[in-house]
Amino acid sequence: MYSAASEEGCHLFDPGCKFEAPGTSLFFPNPWLDFGLPATSGITKYTLVLVVALLVAAGFWYFTTRNAKVVPGRGQSMAEMLVSFIRDQITRTTMGKEGDKFIPLLLTLFLFIFSMNIMGLIPGLQLPVTSNLAFPAVLAIFVFILWNAVGIRRHGVGGHIKARLVPGGVPVWILPVVVPIEALSNFVIRPATHMIRLFATMFAGHLLLAVFAAGGWYMFNLFGAPNAGLGLLSAGFSGIALIGFLVFTAFELFIMAVQAYVFVLLSSIYLGEAMEGAH
């Protein structure tokens, strides 16, 4: 996938050859099947990686908990550590013990998002599902709807809307200015930033790795260079690009986990705010 970003057989020091950096076409794979539906592009590679990500997330949970015991084994211990992490570092810190009822949801979100993210590092797939805005958008809209549902169920429609539009302690005379700002912030900017943060990070990270991979392939011309010196120089350049690729791959794996954590943390904060009501 990455080598396709440069011309076929084109390498450094080849006459009339130039490097073509990977572009956004990486994120718009051709459809395998197209049903002709409006605003759709049919079944693409994203469909495949989405299914694989779903199987990875479900498989992790199945294989680590299918033989649960009082004294946990290695797999069960991993699952319990993940549950404890979500509970102690996310739900308890944002919602208190009342947030324990959201642990299954937030745990599923974290595992699913992380699985979709790491698809960008799987050889042969190399396409993070979340680099397509549609997927983070669906998850963010789901959290936004749940946030409203929790708030309305707890405080009623009027109480929830008032809590979101009228901050506590604000003088009445300034409400005509504050209310529109709060409405824009809570009902438009919040879900938008929730999805764009995840999408933009995965998009940029994958593009960066693609540049390193394609650049390394382009610069490797050990046997086709005009002379041995240039061939060795091209191999050195390619080696530097390879080191950069490996370093940024490790860093990207860390970022993938962080972005899954941030998305779930924000979801927990929003749900806790909905239960709490007025601020």
Per-residue confidence (pLDDT) for residue 278, from 0 to 100: 58
Q: Mark out the alpha helices in the chain (DSSP H runs).
A: 45-65, 74-86, 92-95, 103-118, 134-165, 175-184, 190-219, 228-276
Contact 55, 64 (CB under 8 A): no
DSSP at 33: B
Per-residue confidence (pLDDT) for residue 170, from 0 to 100: 83
Q: Which of 244, 230, 248 is nearest to 11 (CA)?
A: 230
Domain count, the chain: 1
Length of the chain: 279
Among 64-73, 86-95, 189-198, 269-278, where is mean pLDDT lowest? 64-73
pLDDT tens-place string over residues 121-176: 998 888 999 999 999 999 999 999 999 999 999 999 999 999 999 888 888 889 88
Separation of alpha carbons 6 and 223, rounded Å: 18
Range of the domain at 23: 3-276
pLDDT tens-place string over residues 19-46: 887 888 888 888 876 666 665 667 888 9
Contact 81, 73 (CB under 8 A): no
Per-residue confidence (pLDDT) for residue 33, from 0 to 100: 67
Separation of alpha carbons 43 and 229, rounded Å: 48
pLDDT tens-place string over residues 70-121: 777 888 899 999 999 999 999 999 999 999 999 999 999 999 999 999 999 9
Q: How far is CA 114 from the centre of its chain?
A: 7
Separation of alpha carbons 210 and 27, rounded Å: 11
Mean predicted lDDT score pLDDT of the chain: 88
Contact 20, 6 (CB under 8 A): yes
pTM: 0.88
pLDDT tens-place string over residues 136-145: 999 999 999 9
* pLDDT exceeds cutoff 50 at 1: no
148-152, long-range: CB < 8 A, 24+ apart: 148/274, 150/271, 150/274, 150/275, 151/273, 151/274, 151/275, 151/277
